[in-house]
């Protein structure tokens, strides 16, 4: 989300050894931040509105109850529907590529904002998404091309998904006082899928090349030692957008301001207001750039067996010791009845279950690591 980059920029402006009152005058309501693009392809148009606050307490405030419309230069208007958290969307805008489009925003307080009219650009298909395993992780790359008359400016975003398992399966579930029964499949908590979205700005341009070709542009890096994404099977969905030159230059400016600052020898912060303006106060900064483009995408999978035999971070590495619980109602109720422990296995002696082994929820329920047990539709 670009709001993250704006907040980082605010922090950088104030990150001095001694307290520094940066000359960034932010209104009490915060600067309006507009994220998203007008989708001229077959997908939905999704816009997020929020407010960026000051240096002393940088946090995000969703902009609620606004009226958001996509407008054409022929007078057509298409309203977006609000959902939770300042998100506004429309399934598909009936775009005519011969016209220009813009975004109109009217806040709940009546303040109106307009983006500049933008000509639609059509995004070509991604040629390939590739990867290369190194000594410390996996690098993901993207390649694409266009005709000499196509836009030469590109941006990529991505969604990551990976499968992982808890330290131990739990074949039994606590039912009533002192009773354990076989765990039904719908209550299985051993296997989870987790997901993440890109936050860094990933862009490239072929404007200085003789051909409109991008070959193996770096998209992201997945570490062996700090992430469990590669522990079993990993998938990345890369999304490609073609940009106009002014849109690309704005993204490049935000990228430099938020990702390359770090010392007095680096580029200094520059203003990152975009092409959105308060209709009654042109001097009010508005953070964001609304362009018109389509989106293409490509997904790949990487299995553990395709990677070098190297250690990969395992969040369950400390889950080795199991507890032993007597097979009697009181012991079972005390240990498993509180919801903080799950059964690992039965301990059988002489054909009789004498004990159960168990462990804490954090080692047994994969959802405690942030994942979900619902298998994604695209997962093989």
- Over the stretch 42-96, which tens digit does the pLDDT of each residue have? 999 999 999 987 545 557 799 999 999 999 999 999 999 999 999 999 999 999 9
Q: Tokens 């030692």, residue? A: 225
**pLDDT one-digit tens code per residue, 219-267:** 999 999 999 999 999 999 999 999 999 999 999 999 988 776 554 444 5
Which residues does 355 contact at the CB level (< 8 Å), separation at least 6? 324, 325, 326, 327, 346, 347
| Burial classification of residue 307, based on how many CB atoms lie within 10 Å of its CB (0-12 exposed, 13-18 middle, 19 or more buried) | middle
Residue with tokens 């639609």: 120
Distance from C-alpha of 23 to C-alpha of 16, rounded to nearest angstrom: 14
| Cα–Cα distance for residue pair 131/6, rounded to 1 Å | 30
Burial class of 26 by CB neighbour count within 10 A (0 to 12, 13 to 18, 19+): middle
Question: Residue 131 and residue 138: Cα distance in Å, rounded?
Answer: 7
C-alpha distances (whole Å) from 181 to each of 176, 303, 343 are: 9, 34, 10
Spell out the domains of the chain, with CATH numbers in brackets: 1-120+245-290 (2.60.40.760)
pLDDT in tens, 131-184: 999 999 999 999 999 999 999 999 999 999 999 999 999 999 999 888 999 999
How sure is the predictor about 270, in pLDDT bands with cuts at 50, 70 and 90?
Answer: low
């Amino acid at each position: 989300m670009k709001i993250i980059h704006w907040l980082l920029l605010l922090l950088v402006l104030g990150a001095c050894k001694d307290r520094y009152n940066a000359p960034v005058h932010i209104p009490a309501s915060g600067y309006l931040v507009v994220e998203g693009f007008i989708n001229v392809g077959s997908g939905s148009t999704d816009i997020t509105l929020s407010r960026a606050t000051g240096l002393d307490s940088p946090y995000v405030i969703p902009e609620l109850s606004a009226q958001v419309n996509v407008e054409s230069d022929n007078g057509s208007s298409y309203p977006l529907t609000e959902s939770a958290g300042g998100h506004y969307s429309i399934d598909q805008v009936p775009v005519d590529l011969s016209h220009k489009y813009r975004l109109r925003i009217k806040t709940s307080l009546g303040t109106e904002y307009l983006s500049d009219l933008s000509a639609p650009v059509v995004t070509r298909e991604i040629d390939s998404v590739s990867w290369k395993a190194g000594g410390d992780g996996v690098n993901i790359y993207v390649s694409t091309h266009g005709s000499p008359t196509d836009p030469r400016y590109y941006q990529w975003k991505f969604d990551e998904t990976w499968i992982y398992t808890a330290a131990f399966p739990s074949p039994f579930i606590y039912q009533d006082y002192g009773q354990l029964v076989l765990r039904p499949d719908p209550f299985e908590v051993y296997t989870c899928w987790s997901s993440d979205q890109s936050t860094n700005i990933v862009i490239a341009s072929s404007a200085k090349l003789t051909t409109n070709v991008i070959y193996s542009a770096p998209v992201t890096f997945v570490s062996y030692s700090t992430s469990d994404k590669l522990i079993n099977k990993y998938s990345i969905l890369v999304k490609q957008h073609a940009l106009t030159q002014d849109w690309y230059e704005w993204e490049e400016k935000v990228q430099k301001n938020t990702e390359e600052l770090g010392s007095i020898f680096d580029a200094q912060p520059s203003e990152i207001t975009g092409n959105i303006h308060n209709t009654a106060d042109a001097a009010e900064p508005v953070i964001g750039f609304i362009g018109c483009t389509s989106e293409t995408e490509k997904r790949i999978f990487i299995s553990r067996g395709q990677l070098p035999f190297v250690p990969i971070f395992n969040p369950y590495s400390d889950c080795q010791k199991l507890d032993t619980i007597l097979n009697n109602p009181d012991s079972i109720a005390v240990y498993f009845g509180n919801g903080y422990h799950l059964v690992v296995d039965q301990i059988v002696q002489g054909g009789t279950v004498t004990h159960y082994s168990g462990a804490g929820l954090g080692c047994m329920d994969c959802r405690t690591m942030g994942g979900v047990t619902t298998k994604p539709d695209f997962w093989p």
